[in-house]
């Protein structure tokens, strides 16, 4: 039965992982605008081909 | 009349929607390829986007564009060059990069997001732009060496997304309430884990009861319960404490009693190894209550309800210094400086006109619909909008001393709303708390006789079961949902308390200009013999040369029709009378009756512009106010309320308004802002509940003192004064439906109260008998709360006016 202690420990760790990811999501502002991401993901990346030329002097936008 | 129909028909044939903004194209003149545009502005935007390969804009949504109201010049934004203003606006400034957020009220669809996030394709120097849709905000990062702020704003304006930059918008940016989300997340996390760990208890697994886990699980639960009590439930403790400080028993007092009883009893049971405790109920209760709060607290970030005069003025102004125009921040303006005010600019302070003549629109300040003509040397007042070409004004007072600011600083604006809005739940909560304390004490004392060992058990059981979770959830869920339904139709309510106030109204007071009429749309019609193509061209050619507001109205009226512009000879404009000229060998005169030589009787309520060609009168243009669509029907539907009209304008429209409103409705004209406020306070002293509906600065005082102040807004970009509700102009005629909906919502809240009291009676009868177990609490409490949430969401959605109409 003492295996239960270990299992409960693991399950709590996983739950804690989800909780921390929720905190991260709130912190990074994902709950502030729930409309534009739903549209943004549908935009065509038609500019991929000319990215190197037109964005050459730019910093990377995201991560 | 027939002639008008002919002209209209002619227009209808050639009508097609603008490719850019979807407005009807009055003429087929503005064409590019196979695409037709309503104006040059829209065509220009299309050309810009086309040249930069940005036509995806038109594929994401149908005719997504925003019609350009005026061709904007960079001159208007020159105040943005001033470093102090730039610092005020920007979030981050360095030599390589400037980051700032701009509020753009026009953002409305997927295409807007796409275009604004592809700004970097339009101009080199823009690194990155991202839209925050709900706040209608654009975050931009740009290189100041490549593009100036002024140019950036000009670029946005040129494609129809002019940012709203003024003193008010930047002093405070609304921050989202992340704290509440953290509390909610923590409570949910703990509630889930506690429930999982309580399963052996729920299922009555005897192996666990006696085994080593019988203490391990409850103690783990206690550990999870602590953060819920200390962090998640904190808002309830604070609110209850604040209530007690003001000697008020609000709804949070019994909630806090319940939470404390739950935690204390559970901690005792667990530590003394006499039971499993009620930690699951505690965490679930706090989680659901926080969900209710979160539902209620979703606010409209893009709308601010408490604006003062500062948000009306731009951040900076142009002054003339040693013969050169220079931009300075608004607050540094001094007496004696010469202001240069561009077309459509707002006059920053009271002063004297140095230019020859100007037309100034004071409709926002005093409610007068027609622009005022000001001559050189005459006074101009702060807040007026300048309609002609650039003018110069000598400042006589600093902006903080102007008539407009003084009006705003009047003490009535500082007073808080006269009537405190009593929240339903708190009102009933008071009696509820007293009843609960009485019942729990009574039951406890009774049990002291029956079985003293169980007295404490019964006492805490009553407090636990009576915790008014369902009661506390009813009002935020139902009114929160009602607010959301209203906002989807363009009625933005400040908070749930306003919905309650709406149901108590008995008087509704209207302002005229901009409220029941369209703010800047002058109705114009032609009366007389049918206009031939040649006559149209003759009239057009004449008014083309004048900037008088009547001329511009006539010009825009004729614009849709085939016109030629002829050579004009011996053009004369007589001040206050009319225009005359020789065009194509004809003598054309447009103006007042005595100018054109007519002795016709006409209604003094409207502005008439008579037209004669070769001394023969062919008819006249009639200019008047345009009332909002559906106004008459709406007034008919408001028969249960006492109505009144109170306007700052002259009484020219009295007869029209009399027929609209009917006999017995007070119609007051030429009222100062002070008069309006006094009128409402007078009604309130007689015990009436008053709603003021207005739009301008002159209504600000009245909006503030009334129980419900409603501001009408046709354009989000426009400033609207402080108020409780912002109503979009297009929703205006549905006002009676919304008033009814507010009443229904409040009845629903009361119905939910009755249901939750039913649950409480069941719970209490169990508790008083001493039969409450953790399992019963774990079933009863969530069921009561969730059923109230379900009831609230379902009924409000079903009873919304939109649903009824379908």
- pLDDT, tens digit, for every residue of B288-305? 989 888 877 765 555 556
What are A's interface residues with B at a Cβ cutoff of 8 A?
A: 1, 4-5, 8, 11-12, 15, 18-19, 22-23, 26-27, 29, 31-36, 39-40, 42-44, 46-47, 54-55, 58-59, 61
pLDDT of residue B369: 65
DSSP state, B242?
Answer: H
Closest CA relative to residue B506, chosen from B639, B339, B340: B639
pLDDT of residue B1: 42
Among B396-410, B553-567, B704-718, the range scoring the smallest mean pLDDT is B396-410
pLDDT of residue A50: 43
pLDDT of residue B17: 74
> Chain B interface, mutation test: which of A5, A28, A40, A60, most B Cβ atoms within 10 Å?
A40
Q: How many residue pairs bridge chain A and chain B with CB atoms within 8 Å of each other?
A: 68
* Contact call for B120 and A55, based on CB within 8 A: yes
- Whether B692 and B709 have beta carbons less than 8 Å apart is answered as yes
Among A31, A34, A35, the residue with its CB nearest the CB of B181 is A31
Between the alpha carbon of residue B317 and those of residues B5, B211, B357, B361, the distances in Å are 47, 80, 20, 18
Between the alpha carbon of residue B252 and those of residues B146, B234, B289, B432, the distances in Å are 57, 11, 10, 11
pLDDT of residue B733: 86
> Chain B interface, mutation test: which of A39, A44, A48, A50, most B Cβ atoms within 10 Å?
A39
Among B140-144, B338-342, B555-559, B781-785, the range scoring the smallest mean pLDDT is B555-559
Q: Provide φ and ψ at B523, rounded to 5°.
A: -75, 130
**What predicted TM-score, i.e. pTM, was given to this entire model?**
0.73
Residues of chain B neighbouring A23 (CB-CB closer than 8 A): 182, 185
pLDDT of residue A22: 94
Closest CA relative to residue B714, chosen from B738, B702, B736, B731: B731
Considering only residues A39 and B67, tell me which one the structure prediction assigns the higher pLDDT: A39
Residues of chain B neighbouring A42 (CB-CB closer than 8 A): 110
Quote the mean pLDDT of chain B. 79
Considering only residues B688 and B654, tell me which one the structure prediction assigns the higher pLDDT: B688
pLDDT of residue B190: 95
Closest CA relative to residue A12, chosen from B252, B197, B561: B197
Secondary structure (3-state) at B581: strand
Among A23, A39, A44, the residue with its CB nearest the CB of B185 is A23
Among B118-127, B148-157, B314-323, the range scoring the smallest mean pLDDT is B314-323
Closest CA relative to residue A11, chosen from B184, B263, B195, B182: B195
pLDDT of residue B27: 59
């Amino acid at each position: 039965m003492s295996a239960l202690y270990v299992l409960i420990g693991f399950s709590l760790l996983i739950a804690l992982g989800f909780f921390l990811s929720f905190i991260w999501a709130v912190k990074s502002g994902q709950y502030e605008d729930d409309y534009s991401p739903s549209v943004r993901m549908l935009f065509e990346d038609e500019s991929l081909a000319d990215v190197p030329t037109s964005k050459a002097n730019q910093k990377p936008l995201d991560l | 009349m027939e002639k008008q129909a002919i002209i209209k028909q002619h227009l209808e044939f050639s009508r097609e929607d603008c490719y850019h903004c979807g407005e009807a194209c009055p003429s087929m003149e503005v064409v590019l390829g196979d695409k037709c545009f309503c104006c040059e502005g829209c065509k220009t935007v299309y050309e810009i986007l086309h040249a930069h390969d940005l036509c995806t804009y038109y594929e994401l949504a149908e005719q997504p564009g925003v019609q350009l109201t005026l061709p904007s010049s960079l001159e208007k934004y020159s105040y943005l060059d001033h470093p102090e203003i730039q610092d005020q606006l920007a979030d981050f400034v360095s030599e390589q990069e400037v980051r700032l957020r701009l509020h753009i009220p026009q953002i409305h669809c997927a295409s807007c997001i796409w275009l604004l996030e592809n700004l970097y394709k339009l101009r080199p120097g823009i690194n990155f732009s991202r839209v925050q849709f709900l706040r209608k905000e654009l975050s931009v990062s740009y290189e100041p060496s490549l593009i100036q702020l002024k140019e950036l704003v000009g670029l946005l304006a040129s494609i129809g997304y002019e940012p709203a930059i003024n003193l008010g918008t930047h002093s405070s940016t609304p921050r989202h309430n992340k704290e509440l989300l953290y509390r909610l997340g923590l409570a949910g996390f703990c509630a889930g884990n506690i429930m999982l760990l309580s399963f052996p208890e729920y299922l009555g697994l005897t192996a666990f009861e006696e085994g080593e886990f019988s203490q391990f699980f409850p103690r783990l639960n206690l550990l999870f319960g602590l953060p819920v009590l200390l962090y998640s439930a904190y808002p309830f403790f604070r609110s209850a404490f604040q209530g007690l400080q003001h000697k008020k028993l609000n709804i949070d007092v019994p909630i806090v009693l319940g939470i404390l009883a739950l935690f204390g009893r559970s901690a005792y049971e667990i530590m003394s190894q006499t039971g499993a405790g009620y930690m699951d109920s505690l965490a679930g209760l706090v989680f659901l209550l926080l969900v209710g709060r979160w539902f209620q607290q979703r606010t409209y970030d893009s709308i601010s309800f408490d604006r003062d005069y500062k948000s009306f003025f731009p951040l900076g102004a142009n002054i003339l210094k040693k013969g050169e125009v220079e931009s300075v921040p608004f607050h540094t303006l001094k007496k004696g400086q010469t202001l240069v005010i561009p077309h459509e600019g707002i006059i920053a302070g009271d002063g004297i006109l140095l230019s020859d003549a100007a037309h100034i629109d004071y409709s926002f300040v005093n409610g007068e619909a027609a622009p005022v003509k000001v001559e050189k040397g005459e006074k101009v007042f702060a807040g007026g909008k300048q309609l002609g070409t650039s003018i110069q004004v000598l400042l006589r007072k600093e902006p903080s001393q102007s008539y407009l600011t003084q009006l705003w600083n009047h003490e009535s604006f500082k007073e808080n709303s006269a009537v405190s809005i009593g929240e339903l739940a708190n009102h009933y909560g008071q009696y509820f708390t007293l009843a609960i304390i009485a019942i729990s004490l009574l039951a406890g004392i009774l049990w002291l006789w029956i079985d003293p060992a169980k007295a404490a058990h019964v006492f805490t059981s009553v407090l636990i079961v009576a915790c008014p979770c369902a009661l506390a959830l009813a009002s935020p869920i139902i009114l929160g949902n009602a607010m959301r339904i209203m906002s989807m139709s363009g009625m933005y309510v400040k908070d749930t308390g306003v919905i309650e106030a709406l149901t108590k109204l008995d008087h509704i007071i209207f302002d005229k200009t901009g409220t029941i009429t369209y703010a800047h749309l002058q109705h114009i019609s032609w009366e007389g013999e049918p206009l031939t193509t040649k006559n149209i061209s003759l009239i057009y050619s004449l008014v083309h040369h004048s900037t008088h507001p009547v001329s511009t109205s006539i010009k825009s009226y004729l614009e849709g029709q085939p016109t030629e512009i002829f050579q004009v000879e011996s053009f004369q404009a007589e001040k206050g009378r009319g225009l005359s000229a020789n065009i194509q060998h004809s003598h054309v005169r447009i103006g007042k009756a005595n100018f054109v030589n007519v002795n016709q009787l006409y209604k003094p309520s409207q502005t008439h512009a008579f037209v004669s060609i070769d001394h023969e009168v062919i008819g006249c243009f009639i200019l008047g106010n345009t009332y909002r669509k559906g106004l008459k029907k709406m007034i008919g539907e408001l028969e249960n309320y006492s109505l009144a009209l109170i306007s700052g304008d002259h009484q020219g429209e009295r007869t029209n308004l009399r027929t609209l409103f009917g006999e017995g409705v007070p119609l007051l004209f030429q009222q100062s802002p002070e008069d309006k406020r006094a009128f409402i306070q007078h009604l309130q002293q007689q015990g009436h509940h008053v709603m003021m509906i207005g739009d301008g600065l002159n209504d600000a005082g009245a909006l503030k003192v009334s129980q419900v102040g409603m501001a009408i807004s046709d354009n989000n970009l426009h400033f609207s004064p402080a108020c409780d509700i912002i109503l979009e102009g297009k929703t205006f005629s549905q006002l009676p439906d919304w008033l009814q909906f507010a009443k229904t919502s409040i009845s629903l809240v009361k119905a939910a109260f009755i249901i939750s009291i039913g649950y409480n009676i069941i719970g209490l009868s169990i508790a008083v008998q001493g039969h409450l177990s953790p399992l019963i609490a774990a079933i009863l409490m969530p069921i009561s709360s969730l059923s109230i949430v379900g009831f609230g969401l379902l009924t409000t959605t079903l009873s919304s006016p939109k649903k009824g109409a379908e």
